[in-house]
Structure 1
Amino acid sequence: MTFQRARNDEQRSHRRHQILDATAGMLAEMPVAKVSLNELSRRVGLAKSNVLRYFESREAILLHLLEVELQAWLAELEHALEPVKGSARERGDRLARILADSLAERPVLCDLTSAQAAVLEHNVSAAVAVEHKNATLQAFQNLAGLFLRYLPELGTQDAFRLVGLTTLAISAAWPHGRPPEALLAAYAADPALAPMRADFTDLVRQSVEVTISGLLVRAENLPLGAEPLDEVPVQKWLK
């Protein structure tokens, strides 16, 4: 495929979308770690230096795709998280199941999330970081709003804390739920190791269930990362 130089904003926007589409196609075939600028350049028919005219790095492209994946997941959850009756515990457990099941069907989102802090945010400029974090913050706030609509007992701050802690659960559970061939062989050879084999969906579901239960019991409604309250009546913990 031969490209002409983009000469106006519309053409540049079109070129960016072509690069993003090609990267998304690669992520459908391979994990984030194997996505390279060389292969991307080959697929879009541009020299690597020309790809870098539109995105400053491989990581900047992947961060943008993470934002796209988050928006698509939000749109899906808008329909899945209709308010239902039941106790807070029942609704919390159902919320955890919905999140875990929907994430299991979005491997690209999970793979990008697991690579975000460790890899993708380490080769971008401050300008790209600001843009990415603002987009992520907006997505997280919208997701917290969905959680709060479904489980209002959480409170605004704890709903946002649930988003952050769910993201951490995804980041940790994704690689553990996709063991390499050597570990698969070890599990097959020694049945006693079966408890060590992690299932991504179960890990996320259980992590979110326990997180929701803890947030509801503590009922602190604190910002993400804030210190716990110094004095909480014992009776509150025993409810």
Structure 2
Amino acid sequence: MGEVNFKRARTDEQRAERRRAILATADEMLTEMPVAKLSFNELSRRVCLAKANIVRYVESREAVLLELLDRHIRDWIAELAGSVPAEGGPRERGDRLAAVLAESLVRRPVLCDLISSQATVLEHNVSTEVALEHKHALLRAVESLTAVVRRHLPEFDDRAAYELVSTTSLVTAAAWPHSRPSEALQAAYALDPAVAATRVEFTELVGRTLEVTISGLLARAGDRSAEVG
């Protein structure tokens, strides 16, 4: 990846272009390295700006990553919005939705890495203004994801769909780092079959967890309907 050469920004449009270039550079860096290794120093070097100057355009490393998280979530939702609901009963459609969610996530490693770092890293070292912008973006994303879920499973009300969306985020955050073992653990897996059996496979774990969650939510929805009836 080539470095970005900046001249001094003198207009609002030039400043906006600097900011877009910084975000694009950080996004490209995430295809080369995990979130944990993306440093502000390296970002500054690649955009040819001193750290003292780069903060004119972005508040912090974490603020950059939060904005990228929001963008990657929007892209993911756009993909899911084009998915076609399966035919069959609620169980069949639920299992297919679980697979769609898990398979779409594993194809987006940058998104999964950002989700797994959200609460512990990304939401720290940011201003209240940035935190609010991020949370409002997440609220819009949850609303869109809830609509996708209900299109696949009209048996769900908004509450059940929200619970599935929340579970998807949480299990992704937990499963992703565990499915990316260190070199030492990879060597241990190769040496000991008993240890290898504990290895986490992301798509399998997320898909199975969502299948069980959907089945439980469908059962609860049936119980509520029976009570009303």
Q: Normalized against structure 2, the TM-score is what?
A: 0.93
Structure 1 residue 84 displacement after superposition: 3.1
Q: What is residue 33 of structure 1 aligned with on the other side?
A: 36
Contact 2:86 2:96 in 1 (8 A): no
Q: What is residue 76 of structure 1 aligned with on the other side?
A: 79
Structure 1 residue 19 displacement after superposition: 0.3
Matched residues, number:
224
Matches within 5 A, 1:98-137: 98-137=100-139
Structure 1 residue 30 displacement after superposition: 0.2
Look up the equivalent residue of 2:74 and give its one-letter code: Q
Contact 2:63 2:122 in 1 (8 A): yes
**SS in structure 2 opposite 1:53?**
coil
After superposition, the C-alpha distances for 1:52-109 in whole angstroms (9 at most, x for unaligned) are 11111100000000011001101111112x2332111100100011111111110000
| Counterpart among 210, 219, 227 of residue 208 in structure 1 | 210
Q: Structure 1: state its 5+ residue gaps.
A: 221-232
Structure 1 residue 236 displacement after superposition: 6.1
Provide the C-alpha distance between the structure 2 equivalents of 1:158 and 1:7, rounded to a whole number of angstroms.
50
Task: Give runs of ≥4 in structure 1 deviating > 4 Å.
Answer: 233-237
Q: What is residue 188 of structure 2 aligned with on the other side?
A: 186
**SS in structure 2 opposite 1:160?**
helix
Contact 1:218 1:236 in 2 (8 A): no
Q: What is residue 148 of structure 1 aligned with on the other side?
A: 150
| Counterpart among 77, 93, 96 of residue 94 in structure 1 | 96
Q: Normalized against structure 1, the TM-score is what?
A: 0.89
**SS in structure 1 opposite 2:123?**
helix
After superposition, the C-alpha distances for 1:202-228 in whole angstroms (9 at most, x for unaligned) are 1110111111111111229xxxxxxxx
Contact 2:86 2:93 in 1 (8 A): yes
Provide the C-alpha distance between the structure 1 equivalents of 2:9 and 2:225, rounded to a whole number of angstroms.
66
Q: What is residue 12 of structure 1 aligned with on the other side?
A: 15
Look up the equivalent residue of 1:113 and give its one-letter code: I
Structure 1 residue 183 displacement after superposition: 1.2
Q: Structure 2: state its 5+ residue gaps.
A: none
Residues 235/83 of structure 1: CA separation in 2 closer, same or farther (3 Å cut)? closer
Matches within 5 A, 1:58-69: 58-69=61-72
Structure 1 residue 195 displacement after superposition: 2.3
Contact 2:86 2:92 in 1 (8 A): no
